[in-house]
Amino acid sequence: MPRYALKIEYDGAPFHGWQRQRDLPSVQGAIEAALARLQPDAPHLHGAGRTDAGVHAAGQVAHVDLAKDWTPERLAAALNAHLRPAPVAILAASQVDAGFHARFSALARHYRFRLFARRAPLTFAAGRMWQVRAPLDLDAMRAGAAHLLGQHDFTTFRSSICQAASPIKTLDRLEIAEIPHSDGVEYRFSLSARSFLHNQVRSFIGTLERVGSGNWQPDDVARALAARDRAACGPVSPPHGLYLMAVDYPENPLG
């Protein structure tokens, strides 16, 4: 039975996250419904990561085993036809060997968070960025972020319902760019790690926003990390500014 990897883009707004849920819309459920139109007994789809409700993706990866041999182009086109009008697109498909697993074969996951500072409400970007009213201190946020790089016990930045076996993770990258616009300033956070704890990225962003707004000092991030206590974390950012951008594999099957 051939195995196929899929590269997936979606708007997370109408979904209750990636993972299928009984009686609630999910991205996994939408794609599995499309797969069932191609093969009624199609097995479950396995994703690289379980994004939360409202979180978007530009490069989610999943795999599925199908009975029929498909060319990648025809499989992607057929799924996209059955996914309409859901805001989900199969960007690419590839046949992979039986040892490939979208979750367990992954070497790194890359996320982006978009935060926009302006007083007027967002219109076109509403639901795509977290909005704050005043500009943030970029240097202070970068100083705070530096405390999070490397291997740590991230209990402080872990959801109370996180199911990971250990709170110890290694954060490989946390970069912050400031992008001026005519009507405000965008802050773009880029994060990379082999894996993340539940709500870890959004906990980082909410904490760093506190630093950027002057309510925390950069060293307060180090103290929060050392506390290993969820109560020491800053507020968790809203989900709609977060994007799963890409997933890396030893041999990238999707280009």
Nearest to 175 by CA among 186, 192, 190, 193: 190
Whether 115 contacts 206, CB under 8 Å = no
Record the tokens describing residue 71, joined without a space. 């060319």
What are 170's strand-pairing partners? 151
Scanning the chain, the segments in alpha helix (DSSP H) are: 27-38, 72-83, 138-146, 200-212, 218-227
**What DSSP element (H or E) covers 91?**
strand 88-96
Catalytic residue among 11, 52, 65, 220: 52
| Phi, psi (rounded to 5 degrees) for 49 | -155, 150
197: which 2 tokens? 């704890």
Roughly what angle, to the nearest 10 degrees, separates helices 27-38 and 72-83?
A: 120
C-beta separation of 239 from 202 below 8 A: yes
C-alpha angle with apex 9: 26 to 167, nearest 5 degrees?
A: 70
Please say if 52 is a catalytic residue: yes
- Six-digit token string for 179: 């992008």
Q: Which of 72, 80, 66, 71 is nearest to 3 (CA)?
A: 66
What SS3 state is found at 186?
Answer: strand
Which positions are annotated as active-site residues? 52
